[in-house]
Amino acid sequence: MGKSRPPIPKELQLSIFRRDRWICLWCNRPVIFGPVLRLLEREMRKAGRTEPLAYFNAHATRDSAPLLDELWGVIDHVEAFSTGGANSEENLATACNKCNGRKSSASLKKWGGREMRKPIKGKYGEPQHWDGLSGVFVILAPRDPVGLTASDKTWLKVFTTAIESL
């Protein structure tokens, strides 16, 4: 059995997302900060929407969270941790949920040889100010702090600290 991977600090994750401009390294698609869609779904419920919504699912399944199935922004190890890759800034990259799942623990050599998702190119250029909807998260999270998960609370603190240091 391989060594267990220590969690990547949220401060480092945010640093990677910002460095990579919230764009998947592998397919060049803009990614979304997943927890914001859970908060958006909560806001929709508060506004009286009762029909089924497909905004958030913790497992990002296509049937219950199609946007996250494709574009949930995750931190990927360029060289997989399970094959010796470090939890270091140089070895971490922003990936979309689809590319992260397809790459799995493949080495760069193996991954490069697989059929990859076709990278997209923006008709009018690359996004210049995309934040993965993290700004929406910072607005929605404080509205109902009791309903936040422990992870949400940590993310809110990290985003707030990062904003204050700008």
Q: What is the pLDDT of residues 73-127, one digit of tens each?
A: 999 999 888 888 888 999 999 999 999 888 877 766 776 666 667 767 778 888 8
Q: What is the widest separation between alpha-carbon atoms in the chain?
A: 51
Q: Assess if residue 2 is contained within a domain.
A: no
Helix (H) or strand (E) holding 5, with range, is none
> CB atoms < 10 A from the CB of 29, how many?
19
pTM greater than the 0.85 cutoff: yes
How far CA 89 is from CA of 8, 78, 92, 156, in Å, comes to: 10, 10, 5, 21
What residue numbers bound the domain in which 124 lies? Answer: 10-164
71 within some domain: yes
Are 39 and 57 a contacting pair, CB within 8 Å? Answer: no
CB atoms near residue 10 (< 10 Å): 16
* Residue 3 domain-assigned (yes or no): no
Instruction: Provide the domain count of the chain.
Output: 1
Q: Percent of the chain at pLDDT above 90? A: 63
**In a domain? residue 4:** no
* 152 touches 35 (CB < 8 A): yes
- 1 within domain boundaries: no
